[in-house]
Chains A and B, each alone.
Chain A
Amino acid sequence: MSFNRIQEKLKILADAAKYDVSCSSSGSKRANTNKGLGDATGMGICHSYTEDGRCVSLLKILLTNHCIFDCAYCVTRKSNDVKRAAFKVQEVVDLTINFYRRNYIEGLFLSSGIFKSADYTMERLVAVAKKLRQEENFNGYIHLKSIPGASDELMREAGLYADRLSVNIEIPTEAGLKKLAPDKKREDFIKPMVKVKNEIIQYKAEKKLIKHTPKFAPAGQSTQMIIGASGENDFQIMQTSNYFYKSYNLKRVYYSGYVPISYDNRLPQIGSAVPMLRENRLYQTDWLMRFYGFDVSEILNEQHQNLDLDVDPKLSWALRNLHEFPVDVNTADQRMLARIPGLGMKSVYKIINARRFRRLNWEHLKKIGVALNRAQYFMVCESNQFEKRDLTPEKIKGFILQNSTSKYQKTLSNQLNLFG
């Protein structure tokens, strides 16, 4: 292969793919067979991190950035004046294999602009995955993008070679989608998602009866939403997210703060800040939903439509629900322990194990790694020192903010200046 040509294509097509935030390489169970190359059984591995602090786990590229659509938020939209390029199937295979052999990556994340038609594009994505699996005996991780509108037959084939499939709904509400991507319809995104969901259920059922049933997208499906491009509030975003988790058994929903790439007046202008703090708060909420036993309506509802930026969503919930506290860490159940601000699930697990041997005091909790500056107002332990004053939520918040520094201090103080 011609080095210079490949080099140029890689620059263009990696640059265009970087707005997809998913880089997960975990959750698959594909083992190395017949002394082939690669193994995707373990946990995911981040082989490097970009200067923006994001994990580099997969070779994330577009097959092409030619596209027939003109979605306002997208850098490869038809009307954008950028260099265009397209990889050949064999070129992607060679890059993946050679990067993998050097331990640069866990596998491939292949997406594409839509050229000619949805099926024409999906067919080529599937061809890359098929070649990697069948000709190269590659057992590393493959994440393929489901092209909206692709046929059921192609989606089924894609699932047989890929570990994960994803289709990005991009805009959290249908109204927003109509405004920013008039050529696209919500149904087109949903269709491949439904097909993959049903196939996963069916293959899992068959696997119980026949052991050598092939794997079908063992790492499941995910999707992504752009935050701060179309005016949705956090309540709408998390409701959509919750709906997709529940209705389509998604493994992950990713939230991507909008990076301004266009002078289109429907969108935030170039130079406006990426809403990174808001993105972080949304991820925290997502975690509370998935791992901490919260229902989304406890955190966001008609009364609280946006997340606080200055404190994390769990603390914010606790301050609104002081009647649930203080919690006694030596007797409380796992559900309530997980609700104490400043306690992560690892600390919860350690506390539950440690308290079988003796009653825990502040010293123990500190050593275990509990963030006491937040937790102390919400719990009691084996000590006669605990918060005895009857503090209001505002007072507690004030004390906590006084004694902590946020890594987003700069962002926060800018925002406070606006109103103060």
Chain B
Amino acid sequence: MTAKNLIYDGTFDGFLSAVFYVFEHKLKTVRIQNEFTAQQGLFSENEIIITDEVKANRVWNGIKTKLASQGCYQLYYAFLSEQIGVEDLLLGYLQYAFSKTKNMGKDYSHPSILKIAQIAKSVGREKHRMEAFVRFRLTKDTIYFASIAPDFNVLPLIDKHFKRRYADQKWVIYDLKRKYGLFYNLEKVEVMQMDFPEHFDFTKTDAAFFSAQEFEFQKLWQDYFKSTNIESRKNMKLHIRHVPKRYWKYLSEKQPN
């Protein structure tokens, strides 16, 4: 049997449809790649997978009978890591889970289960960091706006958190890397895309877009951040471990005055 290279559209449903295809055709040597990063294998045959919600749901329901809820969310989290090759890792994980009768989700001595648990953990950490490091700025049209560029695609994971918390204010969280954002309009959270002026500097607070009050509160927050530090206990190594430098550009307290 020739090796197959399944190309899907990058969505979770698309991935599950590809898994369905693998089981349906009992494929042995197969890779799953999304259409943006797909590479042509030398001896394999490409197959475009059409996302099919019904098939995706069948696979997902099947997974739920095999894995406890922790295993299911680890699977989804790991998928959102967007790491090259994660689809094949997930497929291996699923093939192993479906081949056994008991719940394998906690078999931490199995290489692919431990690996998935570790990837899911990094994604979970990035999610938690975004919940912490998002800094809203009040725009002139009274929307609280934040831009982020997370390592993994965590927007689908953080919408509930922000909706619960900021139920009485309009807000936008925009992922600059993946060019889409979430908009909460006091009713529900919507996925949206925005056009920004060319060379727009997201680390600057431009008086043309942001409310006058915004500058005062940023200044107060910066002052507070300085006053609450104890100089004689200074420990920059620990500081940087907690707030890695790649996040500094979005934190108002880390901006030079």
Decide whether A and B are members of one complex: yes
Interface residues of A (CB under 8 A from B): 3, 6-7, 10-11, 14-15, 17-19, 31-32, 35-39, 41-42, 45-56, 59-60, 95, 98-99, 101-104, 137, 257, 259-260, 274, 276, 350-351, 353-358, 360, 364, 367-368, 407
Do the beta carbons of B131 and A45 come within 8 Å of each other?
Answer: yes
Q: List 5 extra interface pairs beyond A10-B224, A53-B235, A357-B110, CB under 8 A.
A: A7-B223, A37-B167, A45-B131, A55-B242, A101-B138
Name the A residues within 8 Å of B110 (CB-CB). 357
B residues near A51, Cβ cutoff 8 Å: 229, 234-236, 239
**B132 and A35 contacting across the interface, CB-CB below 8 Å:** no
Q: Determine the distance from Cα of A350 to Cα of B227 in the docked complex, in whole angstroms.
A: 41
> What A residues does B227 contact at CB under 8 A?
10-11, 14-15, 18
Flag whether B249 is at the interface (Cβ < 8 A).
Answer: no
Minimal beta-carbon separation of B215 from chain A (angstroms): 9
Complex Cα distance A290/B165, Å?
A: 31
Q: Is the CB of A50 within 8 A of B109?
A: no
Could you tell me the distance in whole angstroms from the C-beta of A98 to the nearest C-beta in chain B?
Answer: 5
Alpha-carbon distance A56/B227, docked complex (angstroms): 12
A-B residue pair count with CB separations less than 8 angstroms = 151
Interface of B is mostly: helix
**Taking the nearest CB of chain B, how far is it from the CB of A87, in angstroms?**
13
Contact mask for chain B residues 219-236; partner A; CB cutoff 8 A; 1 contact, 0 none: 111011101111111111
Known contacts: A7-B220, A14-B224. The answer to whether A52 contacts B229 by CB under 8 A is yes
Tell which of A10, A103, A274, A358 touches B136, judged by Cβ atoms closer than 8 Å: A103
In the complex, B161 has a CB within 8 A of chain A: yes
How many chain B residues sit at the interface, stated as a range, is 35 or more
* B-chain residues with CB within 8 Å of residue A54 when the two chains form the complex: 230, 233
Whole-angstrom CA separation of A102 from B132 in the bound complex: 11
Q: What's the nearest-Cβ distance from chain B to residue A1, in Å?
A: 9
C-alpha gap A50/B236 in the complex (Å): 9
Cα distance, A364 to B107, chains bound together (Å) = 11
CB pair A37–B224 under 8 Å, yes or no, is no
Cα distance A101–B135 when bound, in Å? Answer: 9
Answer yes or no: B204 CB below 8 A from chain A CBs: no
Q: Which residue of B lies closest to A31 (CB)?
A: B164
Report if B23 contacts A (CB, 8 A).
no
Is B109 in contact with A354, judged by CB distance below 8 angstroms?
yes
Q: Which residues of B contact A37 (CB under 8 A)?
A: 165-169
- Is B165 touching A32 in the complex (CB atoms < 8 A)? yes
The complex places the Cα of A364 from the Cα of B15 at a distance, in Å, of 30
* Given A42-B161, A50-B228, A56-B225: A102 touches B136 (CB 8 Å cut-off): yes
* Interface residues in B165-199 (C-beta closer than 8 Å to A): 165-169
Q: Which 3 A-B pairs have the closest CB atoms?
A: A53-B238, A353-B106, A52-B233
Contact assessment for B228 and A364 in the assembled complex, using a CB-CB cutoff below 8 Å: no
Cα–Cα distance between A316 and B24 once the two chains are bound (Å): 58
Nearest B-chain residue to A353, judged by Cβ = B106
Is B141's beta carbon under 8 Å from chain A?
no
Q: How far is the CA of A315 from the CA of B216 in the complex (A)?
A: 51
Most B CB within 10 A of own CB, among A48, A52, A54, A354: A48
A11, A32, A52, A353: the one contacting B230 at CB < 8 Å is A52
